[in-house]
């Protein structure tokens, strides 16, 4: 039963990820996803008790990493943080381009809609004028 809970966790991580507009793509936290997948493997291989002890170790490791996060970072960690910042910047740039493309597409659609409605309006106005002339013509004939 533990594996079902882990699958639910995996699903929620994916569903809660950042959706990229106009695509079917989602940005997710890779570290969290891989951690859940590792836990699923542990449950599948060693049973629930083994997985629970591993999950407990993960929590302890997470607490330790939070405690040591105040300490100065090693050069490798600093470079990883720099890479993370670069990836985030690239993601923001892609998002900006997608938004720009979406705005341009929306403008084109609205422009086409405006042209179509203008043509329809002219057709309706011409039809009403023709109808009024017809009504006025039949009133003149009936009045005689």
- Report pLDDT digits (tens) over 26-72: 898 889 889 888 888 888 887 655 545 555 665 665 566 555 554 55
Q: Can you read off the two tokens belonging to residue 117?
A: 């409605």
CA distance 115 to 97: 27
Stated pTM of the model: 0.36
pLDDT of 108 higher than 70: yes
Q: What is the pLDDT of residue 131?
A: 93
Tokens 């720009």 sit on residue: 100
Of the pLDDT bands very low, low, confident and very high (cuts 50, 70, 90), residue 126 is very high
Q: List, in sequence order, every beta strand (DSSP E) within 1-144.
A: 18-19, 26-27
CA 97/CA 44 separation, integer angstroms: 42
Q: Are 91 and 27 within 8 A, CB to CB?
A: yes
Q: Distance between CA atoms of 90 and 15, rounded to whole angstroms?
A: 22
pLDDT level of residue 22 (50, 70, 90 thresholds): confident
Q: Give phi and psi for 27, each to the nearest 5.
A: -90, 125
The maximal CA–CA distance of the chain, rounded, in angstroms, is: 104
Mean of per-residue pLDDT scores for the chain: 80
- The mean-pLDDT minimum among 35-39, 42-46, 94-98, 126-130 falls in 42-46
């Amino acid at each position: 039963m533990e594996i079902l809970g882990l699958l639910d966790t995996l699903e929620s991580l994916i569903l809660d990820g950042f959706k990229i507009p106009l695509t079917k793509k989602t940005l997710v936290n890779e570290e969290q996803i891989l951690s859940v997948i590792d836990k699923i493997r542990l449950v599948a291989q060693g049973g629930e008790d083994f997985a629970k002890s591993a999950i407990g170790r993960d929590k302890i490791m997470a607490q330790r990493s939070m405690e040591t996060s105040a300490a100065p970072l090693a050069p490798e960690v600093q470079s990883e943080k720099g890479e993370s910042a670069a990836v985030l910047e690239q993601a923001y740039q892609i998002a900006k381009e997608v938004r720009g493309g979406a705005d341009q597409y929306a403008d084109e659609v609205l422009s086409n809609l405006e042209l179509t409605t203008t043509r329809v309006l002219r057709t309706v106005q011409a039809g009403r004028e023709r109808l009024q002339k017809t009504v006025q013509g039949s009133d003149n004939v009936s009045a005689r």
